[in-house]
């Protein structure tokens, strides 16, 4: 195996591969990345047995072949090299040699390699099972839901984003039991049987990171796997085998009061007031008055913060306790100038929506206000 290519081109893909690989994995082969070159193409693969990644880049193939090398060290070497073309070669001793083609300094690295035939096979799925979605639509759905996924491993059925097709709409929902994020996109898909699945965050984070938000993304569902193709990347992931909560039950049919406020003003106020919150609870208080919103917080004996701002509201005065992150995180993903809060009582669910309403919303359960 012998090939050459621009350092920055291969560096970008190896950096992604390293994100896939689990540093805690005790199987040495899973700490490696697979490199396979033929006909001036370099195929790069990485897997942690749950999530897999494959990409292909242009190289100059001098001798075709394949090998696996320790990804973390390979990445470190690539980062250390000057820009320009680099030669990569496997010698008879199975050492992988890395050497810049040009430059004043003579730089040589060699890495121990493991034969590629020991690398785990990556699952595939039939071509006809794929369907296409606009990348921009899918990345928007991911952005509007991913932050609400639960980190509590004992409630693994909430450790991913629920994805399903209902009539002519694709729906994504995430919840951690104290909040819920929901988005629905109208799609023109001929597929009928798309059962609801729970997608782990890792592959969704990668899709969001790698997407150019242009063109289509191809998706396929296996019995317990998700397959994704877009640009020059192929990703796959195990799905979470569990029953997602019945999210319809927590979506209020109707709420009595409506508060409308400037989104940027609210976001900036939350950022300031949250400087002085109890680290564990993250609780702030929203005191809602006709035409006025007061946000306040306190951090034990250290201090307190309070900020007042105008809003559109004509209901009774009410004080609601809430985790400030449950407001900040959805606000960060909004582009609209105005945001509205719908609620009925201080201890009942709050709905957070863009104004005017769109295809997504968030629900937050309050905390005790005293």
Of 249, 272, 307, the last residue of a domain is 249
Does 369 map to a domain?
no
Instruction: Answer yes or no: do 30 and 140 share one domain.
Output: no
pLDDT at 24 over 60: no
Same domain, 261 and 240: no
21: nearest Cα among 51, 42, 57, 66: 51
Categorize the per-residue pLDDT at 23 as very low, low, confident or very high, splitting at 50, 70 and 90.
low
Residue 169 maps to a domain = yes
The DSSP symbol for 40 reads: T
**Assigned domain for 329 exists:** yes
CATH number reported for the structural domain that contains residue 164 in this entry: 3.10.150.10
Both 234 and 265 in a single domain? Answer: no
Please give the C-alpha separations between residue 183 and each of 150, 162, 187, 316, in angstroms, as whole numbers.
17, 11, 13, 30
pLDDT at residue number 106: 85
344 CA to centre of own chain:
33
Domain termination residue (choose one: 215, 249, 283): 249
Q: What is the pLDDT of residue 102?
A: 80
- From 61, 94, 118, the end of a domain falls on 118
Residue-wise pLDDT tens digits, 189-222: 777 668 899 999 999 999 999 998 889 999 999 8
Residue 238 shares a structural domain with residue 321: no
Residue 258 bridge partners (DSSP): 342
**pLDDT interval class at 98 (50, 70, 90):** very high
Tell me what percent of the residues of the chain surpass a pLDDT of 90.
84
Same domain, 209 and 305: no
Q: What is the pLDDT of residues 281-307, one digit of tens each?
A: 999 999 999 999 999 999 988 999 999
168: confidence class by pLDDT, cuts 50, 70, 90: confident
Has residue 93 got a pLDDT over 80? yes
CB atoms within 10 A of CB 82: 12
Domain count, the chain: 3
Other beta carbons within 10 angstroms of residue 41's beta carbon come to 14
Tens digits of residue pLDDT in 40-88: 999 999 999 999 999 999 999 999 999 999 999 999 999 999 999 999 9
Q: Which DSSP symbol is given to 222? A: -
Query: Cα–Cα distance between 272 and 269 in angstroms, integer?
Result: 5
- Percent of the chain at pLDDT above 70? 97
- Asked whether the beta carbons of 306 and 273 are under 8 A apart, the reply is yes
Beta-strand pair 32-38/41-47: antiparallel
Q: What is the pLDDT of residue 104?
A: 58
192 and 272 housed in the same domain: no
In a domain, 273, yes or no: yes
Residue 20 lies in a domain: yes
Residue 356, pLDDT above cutoff 60: yes
Q: Would you state the pLDDT for residue 370? A: 65
CA distances from 336 to 44, 167, 264, 277, 314 (A): 40, 28, 9, 27, 22
Q: Are residues 139 and 245 in the same domain?
A: yes
Dihedral sign computed on CA atoms, order 357, 361, 365, 370: negative
Same domain, 344 and 319: yes
Q: Output 167-173 pairs: Cβ under 8 A, ≥24 positions apart.
A: 170/133, 170/141, 172/141, 172/142, 172/144, 172/145, 173/145, 173/244, 173/247
What value does the mean pLDDT take over residues 7-12? Answer: 96
Q: How confident is the model at residue 25 (pLDDT cuts 50, 70, 90)?
A: low
Q: Output phi, psi for 31, to 5 deg.
A: -85, 0
The predicted structure's pLDDT at residue 28: 79
Is residue 217 domain-shared with residue 266, that is, in the same domain? no
- Cis-peptide, bond into residue 356, ω within 30° of zero: yes
Helix axes 263-273, 325-332, angle to 10 degrees: 140
Residue 91 has a CB neighbour count (10 Å cut-off) of 12
Is the same domain home to 232 and 302? no
Is the same domain home to 169 and 222? yes
pLDDT at 193: 67
Identify the band that residue 160 occupies on the pLDDT scale cut at 50, 70 and 90. very high
**What domain range includes position 90?**
2-118
- Examine the domain organization and report whether 268 and 244 are in the same domain: no
- Mean per-residue pLDDT for 265-278? 96
């Amino acid at each position: 195996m012998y090939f050459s290519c621009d350092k920055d081109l291969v560096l970008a893909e190896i950096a992604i591969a390293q994100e896939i690989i689990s540093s805690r994995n005790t199987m040495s082969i899973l700490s490696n990345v697979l490199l396979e070159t033929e006909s001036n193409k370099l195929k790069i693969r990485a897997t942690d047995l749950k999530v897999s990644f494959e990409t292909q880049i242009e190289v100059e193939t001098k001798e075709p072949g394949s090998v696996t090398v320790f990804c973390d060290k390979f990445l470190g070497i690539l980062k250390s090299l000057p820009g320009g073309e680099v030669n990569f070669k496997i010698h008879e001793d199975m050492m992988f040699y890395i050497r810049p083609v040009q430059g004043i300094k003579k730089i040589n690295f060699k890495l121990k390699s493991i034969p590629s035939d020991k690398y785990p096979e990556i699952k595939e799925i039939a071509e006809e099972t794929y369907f296409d979605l606009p990348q921009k639509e899918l990345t928007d759905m991911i952005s509007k839901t991913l932050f609400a996924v639960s980190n509590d491993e004992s409630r693994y059925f909430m450790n991913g984003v629920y994805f399903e097709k209902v009539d002519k709409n694709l729906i994504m929902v995430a919840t951690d039991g104290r909040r819920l994020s929901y988005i629905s996109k109208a799609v023109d898909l001929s597929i009928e049987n798309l059962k609801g699945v729970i997608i782990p965050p890792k592959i969704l984070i990668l899709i969001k990171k790698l997407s150019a938000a242009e063109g289509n993304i191809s998706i396929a569902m296996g019995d317990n796997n998700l397959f994704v193709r877009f640009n020059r990347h192929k990703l796959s992931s195990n799905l979470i085998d569990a029953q997602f909560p019945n999210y319809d039950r927590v979506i209020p049919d109707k709420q009595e009061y409506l508060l409308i406020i400037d989104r940027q003003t609210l976001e900036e106020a939350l950022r300031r007031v949250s400087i002085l919150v109890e680290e564990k609870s993250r609780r702030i208080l929203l005191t809602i008055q006709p035409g006025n919103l007061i946000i306040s917080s306190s951090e034990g004996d250290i201090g307190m913060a309070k900020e007042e701002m105008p809003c559109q509201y004509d209901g009774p005065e009410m004080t609601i306790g809430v985790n400030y992150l449950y407001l900040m995180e959805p606000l960060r993903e909004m582009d609209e100038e105005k945001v509205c809060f719908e609620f009925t009582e201080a201890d009942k669910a709050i709905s957070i929506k863009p104004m005017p309403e769109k295809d997504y919303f968030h629900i937050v359960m309050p905390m005790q206000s005293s």
